[in-house]
Amino acid sequence: MGATLRTATERLAATSDTPRLDAELLMAHALGVSRSDLLLRHMSAPVPESFAALLARRAEHEPVAHILGEQEFFGLPFRVTPDVLIPRGDSEVLVEAALAGMPAARRVLDCGTGSGALLLAVLHHLPAAQGVGIDRSATALTVAADNAARLGLSDRVKLAAANWLQPGWDEGLGQFDLILANPPYVEEAAALSPSVREFEPAEALFAGPEGLDDYRALVPQLPVLLAPGGVALVEIGATQAEAVIAIAAAAGFTVRLRHDLGGRPRALELKIPLVNGPGSD
Ligand code: GLN
């Protein structure tokens, strides 16, 4: 087992930034146990026959989340298919900011919900909140619905097909205390690893030559969807802070920049300043 994991790690180093972790996750999957159980209890078990095929798939760049059909996000298990973006640890900063900034949120909107990771992680921690997740991909919505059911959140989540590039997409949604969005933001010509470019859905990744097309369309539409005092949390690419802050400021927002665990700019916290009533100054 130990030797197999070492050899597998060496083989995956050519494909993956996290070769040891990948090898352990695939081995745990082959054994039908969790990774921590593998490390604590099964390190002297015989290597299951199915491991070699799983390793070969990863060596051909297939993401571990696709091989396992699952990805953990904010400590919760999410089902993942090639129809949705794989939830990333970097996006957890949005959930942290949401829980810290809007602990009393009652209505939550997730724009481009994909697997449902952002919305469902927030609802899991805010038991009084109701959520709406929209996505233009019908197949993504079935994955989000499945995740809502698995996490016992179906009765607090509404999922709907909608595309913010089309007028009228937000009709009847009402207003929200909290809006989450991880829109596509990758530049079309970006040098992505094959694991991302060849396996994850292009419509969840790419947003025009500068990766800004979806911010330009979506951010100016958010003020009317926010209840007074509400907050929108929008994920950004690490180099996009200046450009997206300008888009948000032009839409009337005050902006606070949040960083991910790697210290890179990762999210904008957007608020509409409350107007003082007559007589106050
Ligand atoms: N962070 C993702 C990446 O790796 C992009 C996610 C997105 O476009 N929303 O590339």
Between the CA of 205 and the centroid of ligand 1 the distance, in Å, is 6
Between the CA of 15 and the centroid of ligand 1 the distance, in Å, is 18
Would you say 225 and 173 are in contact if contact means Cβ atoms under 8 Å apart?
A: yes
pLDDT tens, the chain, 281 aa long: 999 999 999 999 999 999 999 999 999 999 999 999 999 999 999 999 999 999 999 999 999 999 999 999 999 999 999 999 999 999 999 999 999 999 999 999 999 999 999 999 999 999 999 999 999 999 999 999 999 999 999 999 999 999 999 999 999 999 999 999 999 999 999 999 999 999 999 999 999 999 999 999 999 999 999 999 999 999 999 999 999 999 999 999 999 999 999 999 999 999 999 877 665 45
Query: How many CA atoms does the CB half-sphere of 237 hold within 13 Å?
Result: 18
3-state secondary structure of 278: coil
Note whether residue 150 is domain-resident: yes
Strand 226-235 with 176-181, pairing: parallel
**Together in a domain, 158 and 208:** yes
Which residue is associated with the tokens 């979506």? Answer: 218
Ligand 1 atom closest to Cα of 207? 8
**Together in a domain, 52 and 102:** no
**Together in a domain, 242 and 134:** yes
- Is 182 a pocket residue for ligand 1 (Cβ < 6 Å)? yes
Residue 279 has a pLDDT of 56
Strand 157-161 with 226-235, pairing: unpaired
What's the distance, CA 155 to chain centroid?
21
Ligand 1 atom closest to Cα of 190? 10
- Is 196 a pocket residue for ligand 1 (Cβ < 6 Å)? yes
**Together in a domain, 89 and 202:** yes
CA 234 to CA 161: how far, in whole Å? 20
Note whether residue 279 is domain-resident: no
Residue 281 has a pLDDT of 55
User: H helices of the chain, where?
Assistant: 2-12, 19-31, 35-41, 51-59, 64-68, 92-101, 117-125, 138-150, 194-197, 202-205, 213-218, 241-250
CA 238 to CA 161: how far, in whole Å? 29
CA 139 to CA 207: how far, in whole Å? 20
Report the candidate in 49, 67, 68, 55 with the shortest Cα–Cα distance to residue 13: 55
3-state secondary structure of 191: coil
CA 223 to CA 38: how far, in whole Å? 48
Between the CA of 172 and the centroid of ligand 1 the distance, in Å, is 29
Between the CA of 75 and the centroid of ligand 1 the distance, in Å, is 20
- Identity of the amino acid at 6: R
**Together in a domain, 95 and 22:** no
Between the CA of 39 and the centroid of ligand 1 the distance, in Å, is 31
- Is 267 a pocket residue for ligand 1 (Cβ < 6 Å)? no
**Together in a domain, 51 and 92:** no
Q: What would the DSSP string read from start to end of 249-277?
A: HHTT-EEEEEE-TTS-EEEEEEEPPPPPP
Report the candidate in 3, 9, 1, 7 with the shortest Cα–Cα distance to residue 28: 1
Contacts of 235 (CB under 8 A, 6+ apart): 91, 94, 181, 182, 183, 185, 266, 267
| CATH at 151 | 3.40.50.150
Nearest Cα residue to atom 2 of ligand 1? 205
Between the CA of 245 and the centroid of ligand 1 the distance, in Å, is 18
**Together in a domain, 25 and 111:** no
Between the CA of 235 and the centroid of ligand 1 the distance, in Å, is 9
CA 111 to CA 95: how far, in whole Å? 14
- Is 150 a pocket residue for ligand 1 (Cβ < 6 Å)? no
- Is 217 a pocket residue for ligand 1 (Cβ < 6 Å)? no
Residue 275: strand pairing partners:
none
**Together in a domain, 28 and 92:** no
Nearest Cα residue to atom 4 of ligand 1? 196
**Together in a domain, 48 and 112:** no
Would you say 107 and 130 are in contact if contact means Cβ atoms under 8 Å apart?
A: yes
Provide the residue range defining the domain that includes 195.
83-271
- Is 113 a pocket residue for ligand 1 (Cβ < 6 Å)? no
